[in-house]
Amino acid sequence: MRRRLIQSTLAVVLVVIAVFGVSLVIVEARTITSTAQERVDLEAVRLAGIVDSRLLGTGTVDAEILSEQVSRERYAVIRIPGRPVIEVGKQPTGEVLRGKAVGEEGETVLVEEPRSSVTREVGRTLLIIGLVALLAVIAAVLLALRQAGRLASPLTDLAETAERLGSGDPRPRHKRYGVPELDRVADVLDASAERIARMLTAERRLAADASHQLRTPLTALSMRLEEITLTDDPETVKEEATIALTQVERLTDVVERLLTNARDPRSGSAVSFDLDDVIQQQIAEWRPAYRSAGRAIVSSGKRHLTAVGTPGAVAQVLAALIENSLMHGGGTVALRTRVTGNQAVIEVADEGPGVPADLGARIFERTISGRNSTGIGLAVARDLAEADGGRLELLQPRPPVFGLFLSRTSPPKKSPAGTTVR
């Protein structure tokens, strides 16, 4: 591209120089020739005037007197009636310019000048025009190099940016070049880089969330299947298989919820459900793990509360809190239900050391953990709660008490015409 820009610019300049330069040379040559001829004619008239004044005065006219009036390059011939011809200077050879004048006393004056003087002047003019043309070509080349660099370098940068995007590096460069068209391309590439970065972040977040959220249900399902393989009692097999099927349904709900939340966190379908069912299901699922750790998990508070949300999402939030208490807490874990205003609250508390003071509200940020854990569980739980129109808060750091707030009022539904129906 650089070469083509330089060649095109140079071609344009050469064409302009050729067109205007040739025209200028022709015009200048004609002007110089015309001017030289006028000089010779004026010289003849001037000499005729001098001869007239001498004839009318002293009457003496000779070559010695007139030689002082004629330049060295010129040749003059004066013919006076009744007198010898007077010649001044050396007669030139080759082509000459002639000027002729007739005086008042009847004398004739002929002045000649060699055309070589005109040729030299035309040559000097051509030299000046050639130098100007050369300077114009040099300036054009320098300008073409500058413009080529100004245009080619940004295109190289944009190509490198596009290549980086293709190789999986979505960092925008935020570099502009002062050329509107190139800056527009840079804007589009930066916007694409930001979109790709968000997509990659969402994919990585989905993978991390799925890994974290599916780990415990898969472990529980594996334990149920092991129980089935170790027993010959049909009733036990049936009971364990029923529990396993329930856990498979929960796994399916977890996957669907994660995918839905990755696409649109607010797209969940909220329904009214009984909190007791979700709480008892979680206690039954986690009781073996707590029993193995020598701890207990219990429930208390107001019964038969109805909340609005997604049962699977609420179960995941409770599972995250219960697992957090199992890993980082101590003593008995209690799930308490109560009502505050138009909200149902599920509190999850344990008797452990609680949340360190330096974490505080940051406990819900991703990668923030009081111990050597992923720091994903509470962040995912908060996102799930907010997607259902609720919220998850740390009510008390020591001993730790987390509260899940859910609405008890069904969200307004919309009729097919788009009006709100309550």
Going by C-alpha positions, the residue among 4, 26, 7 that lies closest to residue 137 is 7
**Residue 245 placed within a domain:** no
pLDDT in tens, 19-29: 888 888 888 88
Share of the chain above pLDDT 70, in %: 83
Please report, for the domain that includes residue 379, its CATH number.
3.30.565.10
The amino acid present at 402, given as its one-letter code, is F
**Residue 35 placed within a domain:** yes
Integer angstrom CA distances of residue 77 from 66, 83, 102, 114:
10, 13, 12, 15
Integer angstrom CA distances of residue 284 from 68, 76, 182, 206, 246:
136, 135, 63, 28, 12
Going by C-alpha positions, the residue among 1, 2, 24, 4 that lies closest to residue 12 is 4
Structural domain total, the chain: 2
Please report, for the domain that includes residue 30, its CATH number.
3.30.450.250
Whether the predicted pLDDT of 30 surpasses 80: yes
**Residue 223 placed within a domain:** no
3-state secondary structure of 321: helix
3-state secondary structure of 417: coil
Cα–Cα distance, 304 to 282 (Å, whole number): 16
Higher pLDDT pick, 158 / 24: 24
- Helix/strand/coil (H, E, C) string of 193-213? HHHHHHHHHHHHHHHHHHHHH
pLDDT recorded at residue 216:
64
Given the structure tokens 């170790």, which residue do they identify? Answer: 230
pLDDT recorded at residue 298:
93
140 confidence band (pLDDT: 50, 70, 90): confident
Positive or negative: CA dihedral 205, 207, 212, 217 = positive
- For residue 66, the enclosing domain spans 2-138
pLDDT recorded at residue 213:
61
Higher pLDDT pick, 112 / 197: 112
Going by C-alpha positions, the residue among 256, 263, 283, 272 that lies closest to residue 306 is 272
Domain boundary among 122, 138, 154: 138
**Residue 205 placed within a domain:** no
Cα–Cα distance, 244 to 17 (Å, whole number): 90
**Residue 89 placed within a domain:** yes
Whether the predicted pLDDT of 265 surpasses 60: no
Classify residue 421 by burial, with Cβ atoms within 10 Å: 0-12, 13-18, 19+: exposed
pLDDT recorded at residue 415:
47
**Residue 385 placed within a domain:** yes
Residues 6 or more apart whose Cβ sits within 8 Å of residue 178: none
Find the mean pLDDT for residues 398-402: 90
Domain boundary among 71, 106, 138: 138
Domain boundary among 112, 138, 164: 138
pLDDT in tens, 206-241: 666 666 666 666 766 777 677 778 777 888 778 778
pLDDT recorded at residue 416:
47
Task: Find the range with the poorest average confidence among 74-78, 90-94, 174-178, 347-351.
Answer: 174-178
**Residue 240 placed within a domain:** no
**Residue 150 placed within a domain:** no
Share of the chain above pLDDT 90, in %: 11
* CB 345, CB 395: distance < 8 Å: no
* CB 236, CB 226: distance < 8 Å: no
